[in-house]
Structure 1
């Protein structure tokens, strides 16, 4: 975790300290919340929350959190003041909303149509400090930009003294983005899935003078945290939401379901509903973009960017977040991930965009990524 940017000069620091001492109003502290995201889309000071070598995708500017607009901490404070008096002994009844869980995967089920829930979920991410880069009510998919959890920055003496004067020069060296998918189940209810992807900045070179961005493991507990906060946004109290989410699941030994002989495939025992959920979450947590899906046919229509198709000699994540990523993303190919059930056994295969089975290296690569997510 880093503190001051290497680009800041001593003169800048001294000038800022002088300004801070003369203007005590510039000092600031956080409220102690464990989550305080600052989106790359916000325009409050220099845009240093986004890594210099990451590409800021041009999203719909309607979803930029406005200055002085609602924040998650502000919403939580208002919700706390509205909490009914008296000690909570049982979970309050919020009609038509519950958490379901398998292993470390949790999702929210709401007995309303997706089109009625979608606007509230969109507002939730706005209030949480994110800019939506993907916002598709038609497919029920939204994805945030890369953002930094500012609450992870330690409150040392210099930062407490300087406050907002040099706040933008502090960085955690970590970025997060979240994908939300709204799915209609067999009962007509709306299932809401939140999945996390992370990146971390690491020092490289013999003298450790350069940095590159690499993948960080998915964080199921961070996904659960945002699910709990979404439940509050939809009507639960904080206590009830956290009780519904529950504690961290114990880790289980990882089992591989990948079969490479003949037609590459994933093969495991499960019913279709469970398999559809697991494959959907696996796609969201991996380097796939789900364009559409057909649950009745068991098909996910996805785009996948093969690292071998990227230009240049740079590392995979550096390529993904560089200024050339737009050009590279045009090379992302379309595939179909097929989920079929037969006598209690699930078989997952890959087809190209025209429906022809993929049986070579690409199929194994895509299925391996999904296999790494199953059973987590």
Structure 2
């Protein structure tokens, strides 16, 4: 199988992934979601009330006699649409980066949503109460002026040549450890066009690029009014090892305290694009929704919808934490073993 070369490689889009802490509160995550199956669900992020403040003014022909009055009215409506954020800084621990914003979840949500729109992405799913929004796949384009050629589509639309790559992003908001703060995590997934033996184009997953993720997070930081040159260093996490007990049950030992271990496991879940039905930080449990085969790992066919009852446990051991993947009754089977191995491969320092 060959990687498709279409046009010249354009400037790649950028991004970042992450996970964090949230005040626990069980809510109905099936309500208020545009497309709940592709969402992870950190609870306790309230949904803004619909109203004029959330409506983006639309342009139109209008009355030519309105003149300056129409412009003034539009400006009046625009001002409260995107609030001024109180403060924002970037934190980093090893390969992990995330933003800490000093403002309400409602205000931060509105600015993050506008950020994706301004960068040419269409939101494929969003759940304000869960704090999750996910973009549709966007194909990278190289403008004809950059390549000296014509639009590969032949449509004359001027959209440019395909670079043979697509990007998708998920942003997740959680209440921060400090009162009055919100943490933002971004995760990225990429596809690359390939040509099979029958000369048919297929889109396959491409390797994650941490540098691209870091650049996208910096863009969001600037959009929120922060200075990307200011970075707060957080102690890097310790080593994570995969272990198997005498009874055959596997686990991950993380040489790190609970707060950071919880964040690292959540980040790994983001990268795998697993979807949470709920989570309970006080008990160290992530509750998984059904996981379909065909992702970054393979599941037994018999797993089916039973995956809805699997959960990830982060057990606090003081200086270390133990991570388990079990069924609802606490048992371990072939599927939980595969899930644990996939989780281990995506846990970063």
What TM-score comes out, normalization by structure 1 length?
A: 0.62
- The reply on whether 1:209 has 2:199 as its aligned counterpart is yes
- The reply on whether 1:218 has 2:191 as its aligned counterpart is no
The equivalent of 1:26 in structure 2 is none
CA deviation profile, 1:28-58 (whole Å, cap 9, x unmatched): xxxx975499xxxxxxxxxxxxxxxxxxxx8
Segments of structure 2 that go 5 or more residues without pairing to the other structure are: 16-33, 37-49, 60-84
SS at match of 2:150: helix
Distance in 2 (CA, whole Å) between partners of 1:160 and 1:366 is 43
Shift of 1:268: 1.5
Pair 164,101 (structure 1): closer, same or farther in 2 beyond 3 Å? farther
The equivalent of 1:81 in structure 2 is none
Shift of 1:287: 3.6
1:195 aligned residue (176, 187, 190)? 187
CA deviation profile, 1:265-300 (whole Å, cap 9, x unmatched): 111211111011111110011141133322222222
CA deviation profile, 1:274-330 (whole Å, cap 9, x unmatched): 0111111100111411333222222222224242xxxxxxxx369x9xxxxxxx997
The RMSD of aligned alpha carbons is 4.0
1:360 aligned residue (333, 336, 340)? 333
The equivalent of 1:183 in structure 2 is 174
SS at match of 2:146: coil
1:342 aligned residue (295, 317, 323)? 317
Task: Identify, as 1 or 2, the structure richer in helix.
Answer: 1
The equivalent of 1:83 in structure 2 is none
Pair 292,154 (structure 1): closer, same or farther in 2 beyond 3 Å? farther
Equivalent residue pairs, number? 273
- The reply on whether 1:105 has 2:96 as its aligned counterpart is yes
- The reply on whether 1:136 has 2:120 as its aligned counterpart is no
The equivalent of 1:298 in structure 2 is 284
Distance in 1 (CA, whole Å) between partners of 2:313 and 2:203 is 32
CA deviation profile, 1:55-75 (whole Å, cap 9, x unmatched): xxx869x99x9999xxxxxxx
SS at match of 2:266: helix
Distance in 2 (CA, whole Å) between partners of 1:116 and 1:214 is 36
SS at match of 2:218: helix
Alignment of 1:230-241 (within 5 A): 230-236=220-226, 240-241=227-228
SS at match of 2:337: helix
Distance in 2 (CA, whole Å) between partners of 1:103 and 1:152 is 36
Pair 173,343 (structure 1): closer, same or farther in 2 beyond 3 Å? same
CA deviation profile, 1:88-126 (whole Å, cap 9, x unmatched): xxxxxx853211111221100012232331111111112
Distance in 2 (CA, whole Å) between partners of 1:194 and 1:36 is 10
2:6 aligned residue (3, 7, 10)? 3
Alignment of 1:193-342 (within 5 A): 193-205=185-197, 209-236=199-226, 240-241=227-228, 243-244=229-230, 257-261=241-245, 262=247, 263-307=249-293, 316=294, 333-342=308-317
Segments of structure 1 that go 5 or more residues without pairing to the other structure are: 5-31, 38-57, 69-93, 247-251, 308-315, 321-327
